[in-house]
A = this chain, B = another copy of it.
Amino acid sequence: MTVTAPKGFRAAGVAAGLKRSGALDLALVVNDGPSSAAAAVFTSNRAKANPILWSQQVIADGAVSAIVLNSGGANCFTGAQGFQTTHATAEGVAEALQISAGDVLVCSTGLIGEQLDRDALLSGVAAAAAGLGPHGDAAARAIMTTDSVSKTVVVEGPGYTIGGMAKGAGMLAPGLATMLVVLTTDADLPAAELDRALRAATRVSFDRLDSDGCMSTNDQVTLMASGASGVTPETDAFTLLLVDACMSLALQLQADAEGASHDIQIHVRGAASEDDAVEVGRSIARNNLFKAAVFGNDPNWGRVLAAIGTTSAAFDPYAVDVSMNGVRVCHAGAPDRPRDDVDLSPRTVILELELHAGDHAAMILTNDLTHDYVHENSAYAS
């Protein structure tokens, strides 16, 4: 059910012909209300795709009636023609649903620098609008690119529901990762509360996922509330439930990262601030040498220390403890238990750092660097 699990939402997923394979490539999610409150966060990349430029205007008033998403092309760096395609897509949805184009968010994902087939896209929009129903699963499949599985979530609150779908498998880095995420709820909350909850939830979930350090041009996470449950939860309680939904989707994205053979959890503790903990974690998540070593099941903790030494976080590199899968291999900047004691064969790798510089902590999620990662990303355009 995913995005159609909460009351007040319909969805569709169709094959518009944007993917050469003929697979589903266009999703439409409609909020039938009574509320049309919504919030969205966007990539922090300065190179923003046309649908981002459009959607940032749409969300400004906090009201959204529908969101249309296509795979098969990012519509980024496609000039005026590309922006017109995004605009025409929103207009197509508006016409089919008898709503305002200014209440229609647009998302695109795929190759940068290629024009989308506008006719195919608009035909797909018409077909999706005609096929709307409880089709959250089809919508979730329609936004997949190199994803091997669709990512969905449903969590239940007291009297209301949150549903969600996500796509993302490569170019996963914070701010956000390369992801399109649509979250729906039948809770009744105003746009400002949704915005606060969404920013709080993405900060500790999607923004902590850093598969390959590469930031996309098209990321968008949207939350729409229909109010159809008639329940108005406390924002804090709603936020916790939303964090749960977002973390579930983030872990699904990590588990399906392109070519990965290990899911790495980097737990940084004893930091002087949360920002420091995040910076330290990210420096490891972006270190190709460490990530290649994990691929080879090599507990090369020296590369961890070499990575964190490049940060400006407050700690003494010679006071740091490092554990890998429960074995403390480095204590106070010197060798501790033998590296041969570490078993890196499980898919999940737990890397723990104690900085001894304070009381703050953060977890960063990443993956190893593999032959398959290189292969998939060398062949993406073909």
> Residues of A with Cβ closer than 8 Å to B?
44-48, 74, 76-80, 82, 111-115, 170-171, 212-217, 286-289, 292-293, 295-296, 298, 300-303, 305-311, 317-318, 329-330, 332-335, 339, 369-371, 373-375, 377-382
Contact of A301 among B113, B293, B298, B301 (CB under 8 A): B113
Shortest Cβ gap from A302 to chain B (Å): 2
Contact of A298 among B305, B373, B379 (CB under 8 A): B379
Contact of A335 among B78, B310, B371 (CB under 8 A): B78
Contact of A373 among B79, B115, B292 (CB under 8 A): B292
Q: Is the beta-carbon distance between A310 and B45 smaller than 8 angstroms?
A: yes
Given contacts A289-B171, A293-B380, contact A112 B305 (CB under 8 A): yes
Given contacts A78-B334, A335-B113, A382-B298, contact A371 B375 (CB under 8 A): yes
- Select from chain B the residue with minimum beta-carbon distance to A110: B302
Complexed CA–CA distance, A215 and B306 (Å) = 7
Q: Is the beta-carbon distance between B298 and A330 smaller than 8 angstroms?
A: no
A-B contact pairs, 20 of them (CB 8 A): A45-B306, A46-B309, A46-B317, A47-B305, A77-B302, A79-B332, A82-B334, A113-B301, A113-B302, A212-B289, A214-B288, A217-B306, A217-B309, A292-B374, A292-B377, A293-B381, A295-B378, A298-B378, A371-B371, A371-B375
Q: Is the beta-carbon distance between B374 and A369 smaller than 8 angstroms?
A: yes
Complexed CA–CA distance, A205 and B34 (Å) = 63
Q: Is the beta-carbon distance between A305 and B77 smaller than 8 angstroms?
A: yes
Q: Is the beta-carbon distance between B74 and A374 smaller than 8 angstroms?
A: no
Shortest Cβ gap from A291 to chain B (Å): 9
Q: Is the beta-carbon distance between B46 and A310 smaller than 8 angstroms?
A: yes
Given contacts A77-B333, A330-B113, A333-B77, contact A306 B378 (CB under 8 A): no
Complexed CA–CA distance, A9 and B8 (Å) = 83
Shortest Cβ gap from A171 to chain B (Å): 6
Shortest Cβ gap from A37 to chain B (Å): 30
Shortest Cβ gap from A347 to chain B (Å): 16
Complexed CA–CA distance, A374 and B212 (Å) = 14
Q: Is the beta-carbon distance between B214 and A289 smaller than 8 angstroms?
A: yes
- Besides A45-B306, A296-B377, 17 more A-B contacts (Cβ < 8 Å) are A47-B308, A77-B330, A112-B300, A113-B339, A171-B289, A171-B306, A214-B287, A214-B289, A214-B303, A217-B306, A217-B309, A288-B373, A289-B377, A292-B374, A300-B380, A371-B371, A374-B374
Contact of A79 among B334, B339, B371 (CB under 8 A): B334
Contact of A380 among B287, B298, B371 (CB under 8 A): B298
Q: Is the beta-carbon distance between A379 and B79 smaller than 8 angstroms?
A: no
Complexed CA–CA distance, A289 and B286 (Å) = 13
Most buried by B among A289, A308, A334: A289
Given contacts A46-B309, A292-B377, A370-B374, contact A213 B77 (CB under 8 A): no
With a cutoff of 8 Å between Cβ atoms, the chain B residues found around residue A289 in the complex are 170-171, 212, 214, 377, 380
Q: Is the beta-carbon distance between B212 and A378 smaller than 8 angstroms?
A: no
Given contacts A212-B288, A214-B289, contact A77 B379 (CB under 8 A): no
Complexed CA–CA distance, A181 and B3 (Å) = 59
- Select from chain B the residue with minimum beta-carbon distance to A298: B381
Complexed CA–CA distance, A350 and B293 (Å) = 30
- Select from chain B the residue with minimum beta-carbon distance to A288: B212
Contact of A215 among B212, B293, B309 (CB under 8 A): B309
Shortest Cβ gap from A18 to chain B (Å): 16
Shortest Cβ gap from A148 to chain B (Å): 18
With a cutoff of 8 Å between Cβ atoms, the chain B residues found around residue A374 in the complex are 292, 295, 369-371, 373-374
